[in-house]
Chain A
Amino acid sequence: MTGRLYGILLIIALAVSLVVPLAGCGGQKEKGTQAENTYTVADATGDWGFPSPYAHYFRGPGYIRMSLIFDTLLWKNEKEYIPALAKSWEYNAGENSYTFSLVENATWHDGSKFTARDVVFTIDYTKMHPYQGVSAGVVKKAEALGDYRVKMYLDRPYAPFLEYIGGTLPILPEHIWKDVGSPEKFQQEKALVGTGPFILEDYSKEQGSYLYRANREYYQGKPAVDRIRFVKMGSQVMAAALRQKQASAAQVPPELGGALDEEGFFILAGKHDWVAKLMINHQREPLNKKEFRQALAFAIDRQALVGTCLRGHGLPGSPGLIPPDSPWYNAAVENQYPHSPERAALLIKGLGYEKKGNFFEKNGRALELELLVSGGGQGSPGAPGDREGEMIKGQLEKVGLKVSLRSLESKTLDSRVAEGQYDIALGGHGGLGGDPEMLNRMILDKGFNSARYQDSQELNLALKQQLTLMDRESRRELVGKVQEIYAREMPALPLYYPTWYWAHDGRAPLYYTLQGVGSGVPIPLNKMAFVNQND
């Protein structure tokens, strides 16, 4: 009997000993599944290039994908500059140099130690192979002061130094990049060895998807999510994807912000860093006349564009280009061009035009402009297209300017503008939230987004000088003056700034970065939102 009892007990014990580990395994597996928390970001475009420093597309989302892998010397959160590979930094005014004290516990993803030699190498390398949008040429000399201190001597005072060289330029591992002659073509696994909080696991150009895994050895703390995934998704289905938990964060149409907010999602209304502009070809008559460009500013009702075409989700354009919610904004230009068809007509008359019937003409020739618009309906949310074109045409014709509207595929439009084959065109760009250095790029440079206006010596000088003022207040004053001159010269008319909305499920505390991520990317996907800095 006792034997039977022992037998039964033995069987029970065996069963328990088998079941418990099995149950444990099950528990482990389930726990493991929960721990494998993947954060999915939905994106309407999908592919933003191979996420190495030289191969990602020169657009905000491309930079965001690269920044998860590569760190910079310093970084920004929603309020200020914060340490990254440099734990502290100082400006030595006497010798116009910056000294960076580097972190000592950072390692590259392949296990090598990060040292000051990597920083010096990066500066020297980017002088030979310029990194998109950042000019390392301003650094006369970079030298390592031991393993964890670097000094950089500048060849002239350069106000955006911390923003660009410090906070945008990704630091490269010397042991990998020293033999790379064509960085744009270097698209192997080794090209993705950085010091950042995430490591790329998978990238599909065709599907426009990216998968990153957490770098558990990250020197600033453990990432709060195991994986980050970017997937391509049509903008119309993003809200549905959030609701069905197929995405954790996405940019959503303005009309859905309220509904998603009520459903418990976190809604982030962005600052107005993207501007829709009326590009003006000031090489052509009569657009080369300042007064005529001013007439266009009076003729176009920017508030009506926001009210009707954006359904109120935006701000009317400031004549000085900088948006009203920027710390660099000069409120003095705000009311310079109220909507006034009468004042527009007066300015045009002042240029020798006479109104015959509905339209102005001179020497028997009607004043006619061709307005190019992008008809595909793609691009950034709120980007101007047919709708805005039709409304502007109506407003200009009310004043007496005959307008022929022409819809082109967006790349064709960009190339027509770049070649100067246009009268007026609708375009736009971001970056307004970044350092005011972008004013130089958007006014003087040769790109299709730039006004390419160098006719005002006063404006050219002010733009050049604002880069050299190291004192923020003096610089702010000069940037204010730049806006006043811009508003007077009106090389391209800022029409409006659309409000962008992001919705997320709260699993990561997303936020908009001070002056945008890196050099001004207005996307709330700052990598530090995914890192537990206390761990």
Chain B
Amino acid sequence: MHINYWGEIKRDSLGRAGMGTLVVLALLAIGAPIVSQYQPAEYTGAIFQPPSSQYWLGTNDVGQDIWAQLLYGARTSLLIGSGAALLSTFFSVLAGGMAAVLGGFGDRVLMRAVDALIAVPPVIVAILAAAYFRPGASMLIILLSAFLWPGGARLIRSQALSVKERMHIAAARTFGSSWPYLIRRHIIPDLGPVLTAILVLNFRRAVFMEAGLSFLGVADPTVISWGKMMQQALKFSYLEVWKWWLLPAGAALSMTIAALTFTGFALEKAINPRLKK
């Protein structure tokens, strides 16, 4: 199943909007030191300033530039989101692929483990983990991946079960291909569209979970995050500052999630022709 992903996204208007937003966000995140004249943790001495030419989105309760925080927050969201998406998809492939290939008892054990992990409440575990491990960016990526992979593993397993029964796989086995060879050369390429969909889905969930954990105050406090910005802004909802502090952070998070959703829809359409008009 060979799909031109870029071409499919370009053809879909939602896909174009989603991908365009992501590209702009990524560019702003990369160019943050150029686009902003302040460091996000810098104390400017001007507290609760409204938006102006000096402070584009005003300043927060300790005098930090909100525009700079918004840009650096994008870095965190995109970095942790993409990292967690890649790692969790890798785990999903590993577990789902193994379950499909092993079958029988191995399949049952792996799938029951997946069921058990899906039932675990992520927030409680994240709070506990934060108590014992230092929740830096890498720790957060591992933690989020641990919660994200089980859903993908189920999908991969079901797809892999279907793929391994296909004629060309059976033919390759007849010619003596080993399972590692089959997985590498046939099964994984055939799972490509599903993998891409899982990747985008996990990316979206990871961005949301990262913001949620930061909002709860269990992430690394030195990392600038949209969730943390919202948590801090909410404390001052009785002042006018929420307009230029809470709303931009909330809007940025919503835009990122919407962009990933649109991209995901476009890819889903490409994978599943029945969704096309």
Which residues of A are in contact with B by a Cβ distance under 8 Å? 236-237, 239-240, 253, 255-256, 308-309, 311, 373-377, 385-387, 389-391, 393-394, 404-409, 412, 416
Contact = CB atoms under 8 A, between A and B. Distances in A.
Contacts of B127: 409, 412
Contacts of B235: 236, 377
Contacts of B131: 408-409, 412, 416
B61 A387 contact: yes
A416 B130 CA distance: 12
Given A375-B221, A377-B231, A391-B62, A407 B237 contact: no
Contacts of B62: 308-309, 387, 391
30 contacts: A236-B234, A236-B235, A236-B236, A240-B238, A253-B236, A255-B238, A256-B238, A308-B62, A311-B47, A311-B48, A375-B216, A377-B232, A386-B221, A386-B228, A387-B232, A390-B41, A390-B222, A391-B62, A393-B222, A405-B220, A405-B222, A406-B135, A406-B220, A407-B135, A407-B217, A407-B218, A407-B220, A408-B131, A409-B217, A412-B127
B47 A375 contact: no
Contacts of A386: 217, 221, 228, 232
Contacts of B135: 406-407
B232 A405 contact: no
What's the interface size class on B, roughly?
20 to 34
A256 B48 CA distance: 14
B43 interface: yes
A376 B43 contact: no
B1 interface: no
A391 B42 CA distance: 10
Nearest to A370: B134
Given A308-B62, A309-B62, 4 more contacts: A377-B235, A385-B217, A386-B217, A407-B130
B257 interface: no
B130 A409 contact: yes
Interface in B98-141: 127, 130-131, 134-135
Interface of B: 41, 43, 47-48, 61-63, 127, 130-131, 134-135, 216-222, 228, 231-232, 234-239
A402 to B, nearest CB: 12
B128 to A, nearest CB: 9
Contacts of A390: 41, 221-222
Contacts of A308: 43, 47, 62-63
Nearest to A255: B239
B137 to A, nearest CB: 13
Nearest to A237: B238
A376 B216 contact: yes
A375 B217 contact: yes
A394 B216 contact: no
Contacts of A393: 222
Contact of A311 (B61, B130, B219, B237): B61
A309 B47 CA distance: 10
A408 B130 contact: yes
A406 B129 CA distance: 12
Given A375-B218, A376-B217, A387-B62, A236 B47 contact: no
A377 B217 contact: yes
A534 B143 CA distance: 66
A290 to B, nearest CB: 29
Nearest to A240: B238
Contacts of A406: 134-135, 220-221
A408 B217 CA distance: 7
B221 A404 contact: no
Nearest to A373: B221
